[in-house]
Structures are given as structure tokens and as C-alpha cells.
């Protein structure tokens, strides 16, 4: 029986997968060309990590190998990523072309020697070259090889001869990865501006659904539809994470194969995946967010009252995008389309939220006096949310001098990032309820900074939508959004927690007024949490 696999390119004979036929057809057609005799295209194949770039191009390779008109090779270059010797890199690539094709060896001592491999009197027939992990190479090697490919492409296009008779027989090229080739980090401009772009998207809902139903047919075990829906929601179809959760659900923690896989099993598995299980994709994402200046942008992305525009040419956004830390969403602003940066999926956002909360606030100090009577905040039956928020406000005011001493700050104005307070609030709640049967879970329904904290206790769910108070317009919009979110959770009431430096008594009475949404009937309780004035930013 097949298995889910998230470790490198999948094996189509052993692992659950989706055929991605249209994508493979498109890439094959690009490399062969609309008119074969005129030559194929030189393409870049790009996507964030673990999207299936290598597997897709492996399928392209196998299909093209059946075409007698061309020779085709796929070469992995990752093992050369630490080499700074351009001649050595070119020589290795030359050897990996000549040996499989049983051609005479070529000595590559300088860049011009690399052309020899592709000459009409050297190759036997039109040749298609696929280079995987191309952007792992040293920038000088990338620039040099891409320049060679461009010159060859232009000379082939200038020649009216059929493909097999052109001066060079490099019929098509596919460069996989290629972040640097797209001139993002090349200040002199891209030397490979003849390429066409092939983007590898996430799996669609239908594709994720089909893999789990394939598992059902082979195993005889049902996977409840709400489990499949939740897997897609949490991963947004990211192939590596989808297959990883599939593996955990159907194999690693699937102890009762005669019973359907239910949301109860999903909850247990998801909790492990979120808090204790290592995953190379997630570890790579976290490692990237530790670095500056990337850390600054990620912390800004947790901001709740302003979206960050997505620009592929922004080197910081591009780096994070290509490493799977961020993605983009398309919206209509008036009559124009606009693109905003967001986290790629709820699972990644939760892992990053937990990472920053844990590392920034490893120590939260004493939350309250050990002899305090907490009955005003939590009883055997209920949690009194307004008093809980007041207790947090008192705790923050009392401890902020040391608690926020080393908190991350924006370079521009030295202000503490908004997200820092949200991390601290979450850690406070987790610690406050540590001795109680209370679950506190952060949720991120939009992917672009919005955070909701769900507290479950004695069969009651309390929803807290956390925002920073910006202005009256945003406040009114936030009331409606909170009501809609509460309605989606099946709640009759929800709290809108508004972080603000300070608020006077007049405005507190003015804005801390309950709102009942006319559409949903959900009651929203707005409440300020004063975080205090950031003295260091003012100095």
C-alpha cells in the first residue's frame, strides 16, 4: 500500500500524490517549443521550498526521455553550493553531461570552454538540460552559466536552420530554484532575461481531497471529511506539510486502523506537530526568521492594524517568499488589484508565533501574589474575561521595566513591535491557567497578522480577538469583524481586546460599550488593555 511522504521528491509508485498533468504538459511544451524545429524555450522553474519543483521536473524528464528527437539530462547542483571556484563548478557540470551521453570529455579552464559542450559538431542531437538547485551555486557561477545560456539561445534564434542543424544544439534549458537568476540580488541585472517562468503552485483543495480518498480506497479506513478540510485549511495545500500531516494521521499515530480517522485524532496529531515534532521545512523557516533583516519583516507582519504590500522585487520579501516564510494575497482596492504579504498558512504562522513567544518571553515572572484569591477571575465553572484583562494590565504595568527591557524594536523609531505585546499576552494566559484544565490556543484566520485567542474551559469557549487600537474607523470595522468571527465559531459573544499605550476615562467609557451585530446577533465586548508609554522610544 502507498504511503504519504514529505521527505524529498516523492516516488510515484510508492507514495500518494497528485498527477499535476497540466503543469507537466506545460513545462514539456515549453522545453520542446511550440515549433520543435525553431527550438525550445529556456525556462526558470520557481516556487518556495517543498512545493514539488524537483518532482515535477523529474516527471518532465521521464516524459522527454521518451522523445527520440532529443537527449535530455537532469543534474542536481546542490553538492556544489560551497564551491567558489567557477572553473571547478563548470567542469563538474561538463562531466555530468558528457559521461551519461557517452561523449568525449571536455576540459573547462575558463568560461569560454563551457560553450564547447553544446556545439553542433559535439552533441549528437538537440539537447535539453535541466539543472536543479541552480540558485545554490556561487553567484559568479550563476552569472557566468546564465550568460552562456543566453548567448546560445540568441544565436539559435538568429539561425533559420532546423534545431538539429543550428550552431548550438542546446534546444531547451530549465533552471530550478533560480532566485538569484531573476536579478533580485544581481545589481548588474539578470544575464538570463530570455527565460520564461514556470511557477509551481500549492495543491488545490480538490488535489488534497483526492489524496486522502486514494488512501481510503487502498486502506479501507475512512478519513472524516472534516479532517481533510482541516488539513487543507492548516497547510493551504503546501505539498510538504500536507504530506507530513497525512503521514502522521495515517501511519505514525494511526493506532486504530479499523476506526475512522476523526477530528479527535487530528487534534492529538496536530498538537504534536505544532509543539513537539521536528520538521525540516519548519526548522528551515524558523532559521530564516532568526536572521536580520528578515526577522524585522516577520515581526511587522504580525501587526494587526495594517497590511504590508507584497513586492517580489523587494529582496527581503523575496528571500522570505522563496523560503516559504511568507506568501501573498490578492485583493481589490477600489478598482485596482493589490497584493499584500501574508503568512503562507495557519500552521506556519502558529509555529512562528509560538517560537517568538517562547524565545522572547522565556521568563514571565510572577503573575500575581501566591495568596491572591482568583475567584474574581476564574471559578469552578467560568472565566470572567474583563477581570482577566485587568489582571494582565496590572501585571504588565508592574513588570514592563524588566519584561520588555530586551524586547525587539523597530530600527526606524525604536518602538517595540506590536507583536511583542501579543506574544506576551499569550504567554501570560498560558502561565495564568497552568494549574487549571484550561486550553489557550492562538488562531490566525486571515494569515496577515490578525490573532484570535480561544480559551476553552469547562465546556465553554471564550473568543478574544486581539488588536491594537488605531482609530475610530478601524475600531468600528473591528467590531463587525469580531462579530463575524464569533459567528463562524458558533459563539454568542466575543471579546475585542484593544491594546493601546494609554486611554483616558472619557474615551474608555465611550469605546468600551457592548455592540450587538445586527446581521449575526453576536455580542462584542470591546475592552482596552493599556500597555504603557514606551519611554525608550521617546528618548
Bridge partners (DSSP) of residue 15 are 3
Residue 515 has pLDDT above 60, yes or no: yes
Overall number of domains in the chain: 3
**Which range marks the domain in which residue 245 is found?**
205-276
Same domain (yes/no): 32, 57:
yes
Answer yes or no: is 8 within a domain: no
Residue 539 has pLDDT above 80, yes or no: no
Residue 187 has pLDDT above 80, yes or no: no
pLDDT band at residue 444 under the 50/70/90 scheme: confident
Residue 403 has pLDDT above 90, yes or no: yes
Answer yes or no: is 395 within a domain: yes
CATH number of the domain bearing residue 193: 3.40.50.300
Answer yes or no: is 460 within a domain: yes
Confidence (pLDDT) at 135: 85
DSSP element (H, E) containing 75: strand 71-76
pLDDT band at residue 458 under the 50/70/90 scheme: very high
Answer yes or no: is 132 within a domain: yes
Residue 79 in 3-state DSSP?
helix
How far apart CA 234 and CA 242 sit, in angstroms, is 9
Answer yes or no: is 13 within a domain: no
Confidence (pLDDT) at 274: 93
Same domain (yes/no): 270, 314:
no
CA end-to-end distance (rounded Å), the chain: 66
pLDDT band at residue 527 under the 50/70/90 scheme: very high
Residue 198 has pLDDT above 90, yes or no: no
How far apart CA 333 and CA 214 sit, in angstroms, is 41
Strand ranges across the sheet with 493-500: 439-443, 451-457, 460-468, 493-500, 523-530, 515-516
Residue 422 in 3-state DSSP?
helix
pTM, entire model: 0.86
Q: Report, as an integer, the average pLDDT of 52-65.
A: 93
pLDDT band at residue 70 under the 50/70/90 scheme: very high
Phi, psi of 418 (to 5 degrees): -55, -40
Decide which of 276, 311, 331 is a domain's last residue: 276
Decide which of 134, 169, 199 is a domain's last residue: 199
Helices in 276-412 by DSSP H: which ranges? 280-289, 294-301, 315-322, 346-360, 385-403
Residue 432 C-alpha cell reads as 495564568
The string of DSSP letters for 248-289 reads IIIIIT---TTS-B-HHHHHHHHHHHHHT---HHHHHHHHHH
Answer yes or no: is 6 within a domain: no
CA distances (Å), origin 427, targets 184, 203, 292, 431: 38, 34, 24, 6
Confidence (pLDDT) at 259: 96
DSSP element (H, E) containing 464: strand 460-468
What mean pLDDT, rounded, does the chain reach?
90
Same domain (yes/no): 186, 253:
no
**Residue bearing cell 445586527:** 518
Residue 71 in 3-state DSSP?
strand
Same domain (yes/no): 417, 438:
yes
How far apart CA 38 and CA 157 sit, in angstroms, is 7
Q: pLDDT of 312-327, one tens digit each?
A: 788 899 889 888 899 8
Which of 49-63, 210-224, 241-255 comes out lowest in average pLDDT?
49-63
Bridge partners (DSSP) of residue 170 are 127
Confidence (pLDDT) at 191: 41
Are 181 and 135 within 8 A, CB to CB?
Answer: yes
Among 106, 152, 104, 161, residue whose Cα is nearest residue 128: 152
What does DSSP assign to residue 185? S
- Cis check for the bond before 293: say yes or no (omega within 30 of 0): yes
Residue 40 has pLDDT above 50, yes or no: yes
Same domain (yes/no): 191, 236:
no
Which of 34-38, 57-61, 351-355, 450-454 comes out lowest in average pLDDT?
450-454
Q: Report, as an integer, the average pLDDT of 533-537.
A: 72
Among 489, 495, 448, 496, residue whose Cα is nearest residue 475: 496
Query: Within a 10 A sphere around the Cβ of 472, how many other Cβ atoms?
Result: 10
Same domain (yes/no): 193, 246:
no
Which of 28-32, 265-269, 324-328, 517-521 comes out lowest in average pLDDT?
324-328
pLDDT band at residue 178 under the 50/70/90 scheme: low
pLDDT band at residue 505 under the 50/70/90 scheme: very high
Are 271 and 419 within 8 A, CB to CB?
Answer: no
Same domain (yes/no): 194, 216:
no
Q: Report, as an integer, the average pLDDT of 49-75.
A: 93
Answer yes or no: is 9 within a domain: no
Residue 85 has pLDDT above 80, yes or no: yes
Residue 333 has pLDDT above 70, yes or no: no
Same domain (yes/no): 232, 178:
no
Same domain (yes/no): 241, 345:
no
Q: pLDDT of 119-135, one tens digit each?
A: 999 999 999 999 998 98
Q: Report, as an integer, the average pLDDT of 396-415.
A: 90
Decide which of 177, 199, 221 is a domain's last residue: 199
Residue 183 has pLDDT above 70, yes or no: no
**Residue bearing cell 486550553:** 439
Confidence (pLDDT) at 334: 63
Among 298, 284, 294, residue whose Cα is nearest residue 241: 284
Same domain (yes/no): 118, 104:
yes
Answer yes or no: is 1 within a domain: no
Same domain (yes/no): 126, 222:
no
Among 366, 243, 356, 250, residue whose Cα is nearest residue 301: 356
Same domain (yes/no): 136, 271:
no
Residue 41 has pLDDT above 60, yes or no: yes
The string of DSSP letters for 28-53 reads HHHHH-SSGGG---EEEEE-STTSSH
Bridge partners (DSSP) of residue 439 are 456
Residue 512 has pLDDT above 80, yes or no: yes
Bridge partners (DSSP) of residue 72 are 128
Amino acid at each position: 500500500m502507498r504511503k504519504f511522504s514529505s521527505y524529498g521528491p516523492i516516488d510515484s509508485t510508492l507514495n500518494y500524490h497528485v498527477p499535476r498533468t497540466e503543469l507537466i504538459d506545460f513545462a514539456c511544451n515549453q522545453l520542446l517549443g511550440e515549433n520543435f524545429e525553431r527550438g525550445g524555450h529556456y525556462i526558470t522553474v520557481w516556487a518556495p521550498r517543498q512545493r514539488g519543483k524537483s518532482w515535477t521536473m523529474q516527471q518532465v524528464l521521464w516524459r522527454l526521455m521518451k522523445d527520440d528527437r532529443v537527449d535530455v539530462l537532469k543534474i542536481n547542483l546542490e553538492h556544489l553550493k560551497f564551491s567558489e571556484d567557477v572553473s571547478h563548478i563548470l567542469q563538474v557540470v561538463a562531466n555530468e553531461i558528457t559521461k551519461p551521453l557517452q561523449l568525449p570529455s571536455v576540459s573547462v579552464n575558463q568560461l569560454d570552454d563551457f560553450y564547447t559542450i553544446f556545439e553542433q559538431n559535439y552533441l549528437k542531437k538537440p539537447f535539453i538540460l535541466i539543472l536543479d538547485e541552480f540558485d545554490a551555486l556561487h553567484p559568479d557561477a550563476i552569472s557566468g552559466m546564465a550568460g552562456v545560456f543566453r548567448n546560445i539561445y540568441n544565436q539559435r534564434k538568429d539561425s533559420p536552420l532546423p534545431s538539429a542543424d543550428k550552431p548550438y544544439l542546446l534546444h531547451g534549458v530549465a533552471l530550478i530554484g533560480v532566485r538569484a537568476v531573476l536579478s533580485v540580488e544581481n545589481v548588474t541585472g539578470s544575464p538570463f532575461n530570455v527565460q520564461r517562468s514556470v511557477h509551481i503552485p500549492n495543491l488545490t483543495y480538490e488535489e488534497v481531497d483526492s489524496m486522502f480518498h486514494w488512501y481510503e480506497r487502498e486502506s479501507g479506513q475512512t478519513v472524516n471529511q472534516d479532517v481533510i478540510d482541516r488539513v487543507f485549511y492548516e497547510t493551504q495545500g503546501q505539498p510538504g506539510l500536507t504530506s507530513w500531516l497525512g503521514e502522521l494521521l495515517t501511519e505514525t499515530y494511526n493506532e486504530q486502523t479499523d476506526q475512522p480517522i476523526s477530528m479527535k485524532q487530528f487534534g492529538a496529531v496536530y498538537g504534536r506537530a505544532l509543539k513537539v515534532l521536528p520538521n525540516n521545512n519548519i526548522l528551515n523557516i524558523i532559521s530564516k526568521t532568526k536572521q536580520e533583516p528578515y526577522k524585522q519583516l516577520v515581526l511587522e507582519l504580525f501587526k494587526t492594524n495594517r497590511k504590508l504590500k507584497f513586492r517580489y522585487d523587494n529582496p527581503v520579501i523575496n528571500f522570505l517568499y522563496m523560503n516559504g516564510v511568507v506568501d501573498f494575497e490578492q485583493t481589490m482596492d477600489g478598482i485596482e488589484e493589490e497584493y499584500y504579504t501574508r503568512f503562507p498558512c495557519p500552521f506556519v504562522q502558529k509555529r512562528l508565533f509560538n517560537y517568538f513567544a517562547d524565545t522572547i518571553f522565556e521568563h514571565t515572572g510572577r503573575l500575581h501574589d501566591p495568596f491572591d484569591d482568583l475567584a474574581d477571575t476564574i471559578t469552578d465553572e467560568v472565566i470572567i474575561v474583563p477581570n482577566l484583562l485587568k489582571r494582565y494590565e496590572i501585571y504588565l504595568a508592574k513588570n514592563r521595566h524588566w519584561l520588555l527591557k530586551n524586547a525587539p524594536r523597530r530600527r526606524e523609531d525604536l518602538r517595540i513591535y506590536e507583536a511583542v505585546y501579543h506574544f506576551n499576552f499569550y504567554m501570560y494566559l498560558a502561565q495564568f491557567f497552568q494549574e487549571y484544565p484550561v486550553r489557550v490556543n492562538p488562531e490566525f484566520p486571515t494569515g496577515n497578522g490578525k490573532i484570535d485567542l480561544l480559551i476553552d474551559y469547562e465546556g465553554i469557549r471564550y473568543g478574544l480577538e486581539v488588536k491594537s487600537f488605531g482609530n475610530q474607523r478601524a475600531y468600528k470595522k473591528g467590531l463587525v469583524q469580531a462579530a463575524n468571527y464569533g459567528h463562524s465559531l458558533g459563539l454568542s459573544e466575543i471579546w475585542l481586546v484593544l491594546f493601546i499605550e494609554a486611554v483616558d476615562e472619557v474615551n474608555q467609557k465611550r469605546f468600551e460599550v457592548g455592540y450587538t451585530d445586527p446581521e449575526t446577533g453576536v455580542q462584542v465586548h470591546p475592552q482596552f488593555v493599556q500597555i504603557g508609554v514606551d519611554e525608550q522610544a521617546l528618548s
